Amino acid sequence: MEKILELNQVTKRYDSFELNIDHLTLERGYIMGFIGPNGAGKSTTIKLIMNLVKKDGGKIRLFGLDHVENELAIKERIGFVYDHFPFYDELTADEMKNMIRPFYRRWDEDLFQQYVRNFDLPIKKRIKHFSKGMKMKLALAIALSHHAELLIMDEPTSGLDPLIRRELLEVLQALMEDEKKAVFFSTHITSDLDRVADYITMIDRGRILFSMPKDDLLENYRLVKGSHEILDKMDPALLVGVKRHRFGFEALSNDKKAIQRQLGDAVLLEKPTLEEVMIFSIAGREQNVLSH
């Protein structure tokens, strides 16, 4: 399968932050969830991919093309949806669309009108009167109406009500029926990714902690619960992060089989959510014990 996005040895340095991505790829036909805490480097990574900020080192390729040398050709093939909306509030949605459509040679007006109907968008209404959910639908309609092959989304569901979020996720699922497209979905709302993501990539402090199929992650990672005495006997290398409390401990392990071999029925194993994986992974990097 063709790699639609590839980052190798990419670096970006600021006074108080440094991004280092050794390797990251996304193939056609998949949705990648890009997760991490605020300030981890998610938005910086997207800005680098879009060449909105200049990298200090490394290579970024989209559709097999260098992202700087072929910037205009690449952006013709990408749709963008951000958590803020670069719209002129005094314009109607139709006027805003007419400003944007000349930038895309493959603009499909019939497809745009189809999304307008599906999303029930008041196309003649001024954008300043749109709710955040309506603005998100407009941004998504515009992003999808020039047959984008890669959709890049930066916190698209932040602040949206559950019904609008569900509608957005259903659109993404329908979009992936075309196996030639891909979605790079950056978010801190991990429950959205439980439903739609194929791959999960986690970043913290500017570095990728892991990038793997979501099913493999949820199959191999386990929440481990037991007594303090059992924790003291465990191999620390098997634990990503640990939380102690009065009656025992709760930990995250990325090796379910090793835990089962070592401890058997002495501990309780549960499947974690993506949010739990993220929380334990970040806290584990800091101190291995979240609370006493």
pLDDT at 288 over 50: no
DSSP 102: G
pLDDT at 82: 82
Asked whether residue 254 is assigned to any structural domain, the reply reads: yes
This prediction has a pTM of 0.89
Q: Are residues 148 and 275 in the same domain?
A: no
> Does residue 180 register a pLDDT over 90?
no
- The rounded distance, in Å, linking the Cα atoms of 123 and 142 is 12
Q: How many residues does the chain have?
A: 292
Question: Is residue 124 a part of any domain in this protein?
Answer: yes
In sequence order, which residues have a C-beta less than 8 Å from that of residue 101 and are 6 or more positions away? Answer: 107, 109, 112, 145, 146
Mean pLDDT of the residues in the chain: 90
Burial class (CB in 10 A: 0-12, 13-18, 19+), 241: buried
- Within-domain flag for 292: no
**pLDDT > 90: percent of the chain:** 68
pLDDT digits 0-9 by tens, 65-89: 999 999 999 999 999 998 777 788 9
Report pLDDT digits (tens) over 9-47: 999 999 999 999 999 999 999 999 999 988 899 999 999
Q: What is the mean pLDDT of residues 231-236?
A: 86
Select from 172, 190, 213 the last residue of a domain. Answer: 213
Closest CA to 151 of 65, 45, 32: 32
Task: Tell whether 208 and 228 lie within a shared domain.
Answer: no
Tell whether 80 and 205 lie within a shared domain. Answer: yes
Residue 291 lies in a domain: no
Domain that holds residue 240: 221-286
